[in-house]
Amino acid sequence: MMNRITPEKAVEQLKTLIEDAESHREPDGSLDKIYQDDIAALNFAIEAIKAFDEMDESLTAILKECVSG
């Protein structure tokens, strides 16, 4: 069975992966296109998780209001 992960933990893990990709910079500071794409995809995932988490919190608040109201 898959372990549950919180949005915060997922973002933390994705940031760790970004740090790993950044560690592959060449001495001149350049970064291979593959790692650049990885970082872009990881940043996109972080933003998507944050947006989903905010939406989930808003919907939960609305549902609680409807049930109690």
φ, ψ at 30 (rounded to 5°): -75, 160
* Average pLDDT of span 55-63: 84
Q: Is the dihedral of CA 20, 25, 30, 33 positive or negative?
A: negative
CA angle 19, 21, 26 (to 5 degrees): 110
Which pLDDT does position 47 carry in this prediction? Answer: 96
Percent of the chain with pLDDT over 90: 70
Check residue 65 and give its pLDDT. Answer: 84
Q: What is the mean pLDDT of the chain?
A: 92
Q: Give residue 13's pLDDT.
A: 97
| pLDDT band (50, 70, 90) for residue 69 | low
Residue 18 CA to its chain's centroid (Å): 10
This prediction has a pTM of 0.78
